[in-house]
Amino acid sequence: MGYLDELNESQRNAVKNIYGPTMVIAGAGSGKTRVLTFRIAHMMEQGIDPFNIMALTFTNKAAREMTERIGSIVGGGEARNITMGTFHSVFSRILRYNADRLGYPSNFTIYDTQDSKSLLKSIIKDLNLDDKAYKPGNVLGRISSAKNNLISPQAYAQNADIIAEDKMAKRPEMAKIYLNYANRCFNAGAMDFDDLLYKTNVLMRDFPDVLAHYQQKFKYILVDEYQDTNYAQYLIVKKLAAVYENICVVGDDAQSIYSFRGANIQNILNFKRDYPDFKLFKLEQNYRSTKNIVEAANGVIAKNKDQIQKTVWTDNGDGEKINVIRTLTDNEEGKVVTNRIFDKSKGDGLMYNDFAILYRTNRQSRSFEEALRKLNIPYKIYGGLSFYQRKEIKDLLSYFRLTSNHHDEEALKRVINYPKRGIGQTSFQNVIIAANQYGVSPWDVISDFNRYPVSINTGAKNKISLFVTMIKSFRAQIDTMDAYALAKEIAKASGILKELHTDKDKGPEEVERYQNVEELLTGIKEFTMSREDGESKALSEFMLDVALLTDSDQDEGEDRNHVTMMTIHSSKGLEFPHVYLVGLEENLFPSQLSLNSRTELEEERRLFYVAVTRAKITCTLSYATSRFQWGNLITCEPSRFIDEIDSTFLKFEAPTRGGGRSLSGGVSFRENYVGGLNKPLNKETRSLKPMKKMSSGPSSGRSNGSSHSPSNLKVGYNVEHDRFGKGKVTKLEGQGADVKATIFFPRHGSKTVLLRFAKLKVLE
């Protein structure tokens, strides 16, 4: 058991205690993944059958890495017998195996957020409701909250308090929408992500034999990130662990930051109530960060009242103090931070992927993107449009989905006339109306017009019938062809490859779309080649993997030498040598929306704690004294969280000139910078000149740029845009003041801009 020697005493004790209810409170950077991994390996070394172990992780990527690490200790073959993955991936497989109990096909589709919003948009239109009062995103959030609290559409409609809330919010028809949404999903043989938990609870509630089976199968249950579980997840785990109570939960109440997704911190705080004889282990040694960072974070989180007491410490060196930078504007903040990254990377010989810029909201990224582009610093924004959400990828995936599950309404709606085959929107809308009238799926209607009469002309019916025949032919090959062979056949036969194939009339965007489809097919080829003997290589199996990808599972294998930009919520579980935490202003962070109660403020403080503890070597805080919001310049005050850090761990820097380096390095007086924005500016600050307004004419320091009027600009000219960088004019249209240019930017694709507002600079 040499692997136990790799652990400190607290970690070792948590690993060796494999029976009974156990809670491991793991401070930031304390090695909780290692403890989980070694604990499972130790269980197997003690003779526990891996088939009896279920481990629920935060991402599928984490599950794969843990399985590999366990395999290196006990043997890879046995490690693969552990049931390990996210809540959604593990329970989706249980649902597929028992789908008939709930009236679903085993190959049910999993709707992503985009699918759900599209369906809700259709329902809102069908019910003749105001789409401004019933915005699909808000409606979906309301339905998601209901499901996470295990409230069915019927119970929702009968709950007087809920109905009263909806009326107050001027959405009195929410119950009707929820019921319609549930019925349409059921008829389509589809579940959304929330259903994967909601339906699992229904399955275990209504079928005691199923619950008993899995209670006996999963005698040992481990849950990572327990502080982030919602009520539905909590109840599933509690039911499964009820017989043997060999349950181990790992987490940190100080990092509970997902209440907006339904996470309930009380699940971890009340673990001792559910299991009075539990054993508690605390992992308090931080291996990640310097002492200054650890102590600063400790001082802030100590202000929270609702928490499990622990003392995080480190043997690492003191490190640099946390820098605090004040800038005059949000644009200047972007320039200052970017200049620091540039100087530090060049001066210290660092890679760009050593740096991360973290912010409270996605909209803050703009000023940093512009500044990074101007210095040609590569960057990547996480949480943006993923590969699998691009139109051309969604189109082809919809064909795959429809092949596997003919009743998938959203997939059918997306591809029935793509590529165009003469089936109009009106015809398909009549199909939807008929399907709703007969209580069946749209596929049922289009595959049997004799049984389900619909008002469509003969020509449209014939075209639809050809489409149905094509999809059925794909389905006939699903069990005989592997995922790649069938995917390539569908891409060709559907006409998508021909539609996207490049020729002289296609622009750069079309080329990229075609290449994206090629990349998808390459990924499917790799999937089929990576499957072990005996594992399914079917297209439906690949689709299951895609449907359950999380943000952290995507974007592997590409060039990683770039500055990382993301919201703090997205950064959880990650670490970076150098972190810039920006926008530290009242009403921005903490958010103005989170100042109504102590509970909300404490979650914001936990979010700040998470941000600071992502840093390994240096942490820099920045804020602006003014920023634009909705076109108005507002005055900002520094965040209270800066003031909550002991000044021993901080270094305040003088204001900067025009986004460059600081005028005089650090200063030792705190009062001029924190809580002192309403005081007169000091002499040095008062002498700063305001930023010059950007113009479309030649800029100083660049002799190769010139200003051209709309009438002089020509197709083929190379230009530079303030936001999108350098590009080439590919099209001009319009007259006079309304001239528009289509410009291809290598980083952003084609953009159409109105010349009188674009402020373009023509490059000779």
* pLDDT tens by residue, 296-310: 999 999 999 988 999
Of the candidates 399, 406, 409, 405, which has an alpha carbon nearest to the alpha carbon of residue 184?
409
237 compared with 557, residue with greater pLDDT: 237
pLDDT, mean over the chain: 86
Task: Examine the residue annotation and report whether 225 is marked as an active-site residue of this protein.
Answer: yes
367 compared with 208, residue with greater pLDDT: 208
Structure token pair of residue 284: 């308090």
Please, which pLDDT band fits residue 713 given cuts at 50, 70 and 90? Answer: confident
Cis omega (within 30 of 0) on the bond before 590? yes
Please, which pLDDT band fits residue 127 given cuts at 50, 70 and 90? Answer: very high
For residue range 571-586, what is the model confidence (pLDDT) as tens digits? 998 999 999 999 999 9
Q: Of residues 33, 327, 528, 656, which has the active-site annotation? A: 33
Query: Is pLDDT at 365 greater than 50 in this prediction?
Result: yes
For residue range 393-443, what is the model confidence (pLDDT) as tens digits? 899 999 999 999 999 999 999 999 999 999 988 999 999 999 999 999 999
CA distances from 484 to 164, 334, 470 (A): 52, 45, 18
Share of the chain above pLDDT 90, in %: 62
Backbone φ and ψ for 660, nearest 5 degrees, come out as -90, -155
| First-residue to last-residue Cα distance in the chain | 69
Q: Of residues 37, 57, 67, 255, which has the active-site annotation? A: 255
What string of DSSP letters covers 377-420? --EEETTS--GGGSHHHHHHHHHHHHHH-TT-HHHHHHHTTSS-
Query: Is pLDDT at 704 greater than 70 in this prediction?
Result: no
For residue range 213-251, what is the model confidence (pLDDT) as tens digits? 999 999 999 999 999 999 999 999 999 999 999 999 999
Mean pLDDT (whole number) for 653-664: 49
Cβ neighbors of 612 (< 8 A, separation 6 or more) are 293, 296, 297, 300, 322, 579, 581, 619
Q: In residues, how long is the chain?
A: 764
Structure token pair of residue 640: 């209270």
Please tell me the predicted confidence (pLDDT) of residue 400: 95
Task: Examine the residue annotation and report whether 101 is marked as an active-site residue of this protein.
Answer: no
Please tell me the predicted confidence (pLDDT) of residue 695: 34
Q: Of residues 192, 194, 195, 225, which has the active-site annotation? A: 225
Query: Is pLDDT at 265 greater than 70 in this prediction?
Result: yes
Please tell me the predicted confidence (pLDDT) of residue 659: 46
Please, which pLDDT band fits residue 652 given cuts at 50, 70 and 90? Answer: very high
Coil/strand/helix, residue 569: helix
Coil/strand/helix, residue 485: helix
Task: Examine the residue annotation and report whether 59 is marked as an active-site residue of this protein.
Answer: no
Please tell me the predicted confidence (pLDDT) of residue 514: 83
Q: Are 112 and 408 in contact (CB under 8 A)?
A: no
Please, which pLDDT band fits residue 502 given cuts at 50, 70 and 90? Answer: low
Share of the chain above pLDDT 70, in %: 88
Please, which pLDDT band fits residue 149 given cuts at 50, 70 and 90? Answer: very high
Please tell me the predicted confidence (pLDDT) of residue 714: 86
Please tell me the predicted confidence (pLDDT) of residue 121: 95
Task: Examine the residue annotation and report whether 224 is marked as an active-site residue of this protein.
Answer: yes
Please tell me the predicted confidence (pLDDT) of residue 273: 94
**Reported pTM:** 0.74
Query: Is pLDDT at 363 greater than 60 in this prediction?
Result: yes
Cis omega (within 30 of 0) on the bond before 419? yes
Q: Of residues 11, 32, 86, 282, which has the active-site annotation? A: 32
For residue range 85-96, what is the model confidence (pLDDT) as tens digits? 999 999 999 999
Task: Examine the residue annotation and report whether 33 is marked as an active-site residue of this protein.
Answer: yes
What string of DSSP letters covers 686-706? HTPPPPPPP-SSPPTT-TTEE
User: What is the Cα Rg of the chain in Å?
Assistant: 29
Please tell me the predicted confidence (pLDDT) of residue 655: 59
- Say how far apart CA 296 and CA 286 lie, in whole Å: 13
Coil/strand/helix, residue 741: strand
What string of DSSP letters covers 203-218? HHHH-HHHHHHHHHH-
Backbone φ and ψ for 735, nearest 5 degrees, come out as -135, 160
Q: Are 687 and 678 in contact (CB under 8 A)?
A: no
Query: Is pLDDT at 703 greater than 70 in this prediction?
Result: no
Q: Of residues 463, 513, 537, 614, which has the active-site annotation? A: 614
Range of weakest confidence among 157-166, 384-393, 464-473, 621-630: 384-393
Query: Is pLDDT at 728 greater than 80 in this prediction?
Result: yes
**DSSP symbol at 226:** G
Structure token pair of residue 72: 């290196």
Q: Are 63 and 85 in contact (CB under 8 A)?
A: yes
DSSP H or E segment with residue 298: helix 291-301
In the chain, how long is the greatest CA-to-CA distance?
A: 86
- Say how far apart CA 415 and CA 419 lie, in whole Å: 7
Mean pLDDT (whole number) for 150-171: 95
341 compared with 504, residue with greater pLDDT: 341
Query: Is pLDDT at 697 greater than 90 in this prediction?
Result: no
Of the candidates 420, 419, 537, 545, which has an alpha carbon nearest to the alpha carbon of residue 486?
537
465 compared with 682, residue with greater pLDDT: 465
557 compared with 365, residue with greater pLDDT: 365
- Say how far apart CA 152 and CA 155 lie, in whole Å: 5
Q: Of residues 112, 166, 194, 224, which has the active-site annotation? A: 224
Please tell me the predicted confidence (pLDDT) of residue 673: 36
CA 172 and chain centroid, separation: 31
386 compared with 339, residue with greater pLDDT: 339
Please tell me the predicted confidence (pLDDT) of residue 414: 94
Highest mean pLDDT among 236-245, 386-395, 752-761 belongs to 236-245
Mean pLDDT (whole number) for 68-74: 89
Please, which pLDDT band fits residue 679 given cuts at 50, 70 and 90? Answer: very low
Coil/strand/helix, residue 761: strand
